[in-house]
Amino acid sequence: MNDTRKTTDLFSPVTMGSMALANRIVMAPVTRSRYGEDGVPNELHATYYAQRATAGLIVAEATNISAQGRGYAATPGIWSDQQVAGWRSVTDAVHAAGGKIVSQLWHVGRFSSVDLQPNGEAPVAPSAIKAEGNTYTADGFVPVSMPRALETREIPGIIEQYKHAAENAKRAGFDGVEVHSANSYLLDQFLRDSTNERTDQYGGSIENRARLTLEVTQAIVDIWGSDRVGIRLSPVTPDAGNTPPDSNVMGLHGYLIQQLNTFNLAYLHFVEGATATSREVPEGVDMDALSARFNGPFIGNNNYDLEMAIERRAQGKIDAVAFGRLFISNPDLVARLRHGAELTIAPRESYYGGGAKGYIDWPMGNY
């Protein structure tokens, strides 16, 4: 390992789109549930992200594009002026520490509760198919609610929510944005035939089910330019309601990636397997074959350690590697990996909720 650590280029600068990164170690979006009901970032969050600014790129935790897009209490938003001002304090702190940070734009779709929706309305989804599981509200965990299917005439309004959030991310000083089309949330719900039973131009064929992700991407590229827009995909992740993968993973995501290539995006951030659980994939699915279809920089994600990252980088299978949970308790993760220092493993109870404890109090090493 010592020899490969010295020879790998994971710790060397790289450019993704027009973003010049100090290294190929990416901080994945990690929901920490430490925001008030207004979803406004504050000094605590600025400190947290600045501590981790030695990552080549920080993908900020999934951020609600609208009040309708919210599915969990204590998560941040980027639809109001107050939220924009709060995020500006975060991006300023990260930039002052020499880092780069992008905003991950999030609409949860069906995985929400009427308790979290404006005026107690039903969550929206491609089809009226209820998810399994519970979500977190101000009153604790409750079952997710039955969603209603979006009308075709409402789709432009959904795209407008993404556009507004993308404009706000620019006002907030982010270096770019990441389209969250993963983990069984709204855009992924449109992609999968297990959650999309529509009969209009957004349902049925692979081309129709991919339409919303591509239209959202186009709208955001129009605002940011393709060189500052990335996208996250998770072809087989069953999270957020135990959503089954699409019945034709290779066909669907092969087509989607082919179409994404026309944008010349800054990067593709790919969950290889089931997010945060397993790298196993269903029979007939080949993650490397899918990722190889993308023409730009490719960020591998899911249960990596340094040895695996070095090996897959040497094989040309990834251009960068994203770590999530390791950044929780190792704010100086890049230095620890580079120098072979011991890594701290955060207890699960520190992941979500609370204040500074388990959030900004992890020690840094001397290198």
Catalytically annotated residues = 185
Task: Yes or no: say if 33 and 75 are a contact pair by the CB < 8 Å rule.
Answer: yes
With H, G, I as helix, E, B as strand and everything else as coil, classify residue 356. coil
d(CA 214, CA 248): 18
The C-alpha angle with vertex 111 and arms to 283 and 29, in degrees rounded to 5, equals 75
* C-alpha distance across the termini of the chain, in Å: 19
Q: Are 232 and 181 a contacting pair, CB within 8 Å?
A: yes
Rounded Cα–Cα distance for residues 128 and 130 (Å): 6
At residue 319, the 3 state secondary structure works out as coil
Parallel, antiparallel or unpaired: strands 140-143 and 134-137: antiparallel
Which residues, in sequence order, are bridge partners of residue 59? 102
Q: DSSP assignment, residue 357?
A: T
What separation in angstroms does the CA of 268 have from each of 147, 158, 290?
Answer: 29, 22, 11
d(CA 361, CA 8): 31
Q: Which are the contacts of 205, defined by CB distance < 8 A and separation ≥ 6?
A: none
Q: What's the CA gap between 150 and 154, in Å, rounded?
A: 6
3-state secondary structure of 73: coil
**Torsions phi, psi for 366 (to 5 deg):** -110, 125
Phi, psi of 278 (to 5 degrees): -145, 150
Tokens of 318: 């990834």
How far is the C-alpha of 69 from the C-alpha of 106, rounded, in Å?
A: 7
Largest separation between any pair of C-alpha atoms in the chain: 59
